[in-house]
Amino acid sequence: MMNQCTYSFNDSVQETISIPSKITLLEALLEQKLPMRKACINGACGICLVKLIRGNIDYKNRIPRGLNNKELQAGYILSCIAHCKNDVVIQISSPSITRK
Ligand code: FES
């Protein structure tokens, strides 16, 4: 199954891509050659966070330990363990990108 993901990158570029539900949001964004920051790839460090504006994600029983309460309340999700459940809109901003 495929879902649409519309992402903005530092409030500028906006793209919509199709993501198979079996891969994570981070894997899909890396396939787009976006310089996403990543480290643990298991929801522990929080470095891969993106803001979920619309839609729903599924962590598939994994726990987003890398997010604090403030980030959770603000709608941040961890892209390395998140699978799209439906069409989503996300914002990727400076803290989650690596400068080349
Ligand atoms: S890479 Fe560590 S939480 Fe996603």
Residues with CB under 6 A from ligand 1: 38-41, 43-48, 66, 78, 80
∠ CA 65-68-74 to the nearest 5 degrees?
120
Tell me the CA–centroid distance for residue 25 and ligand 1, in Å.
12
1 vs 45: which has the higher pLDDT: 45
Ordered by where they begin, the domains of the chain are 2-88 (3.10.20.30)
Q: What distance lies between CA 91 and its chain's CA centroid?
A: 8
The pLDDT, as a whole number, for residue 13 is 76
CB of 19 closer than 8 Å to CB of 3: yes
Q: What is the pLDDT of residues 31-72, one digit of tens each?
A: 999 889 999 999 999 999 999 999 999 999 999 999 999 999
Helix (H, G, I), strand (E, B) or coil at 68: coil
Most ligand 1 atoms within 8 A of CB, residue of 29, 37, 48, 98 to mutate = 48
Give the pLDDT band of residue 21 (cuts 50, 70, 90).
Answer: confident
Q: How far apart are alpha carbons 6 and 100 in whole angstroms?
A: 23
pTM of the predicted model, to two decimals? 0.91
Q: What is the mean pLDDT of the chain?
A: 91
Round to whole Å and give the CA distance between 92 and 48: 9
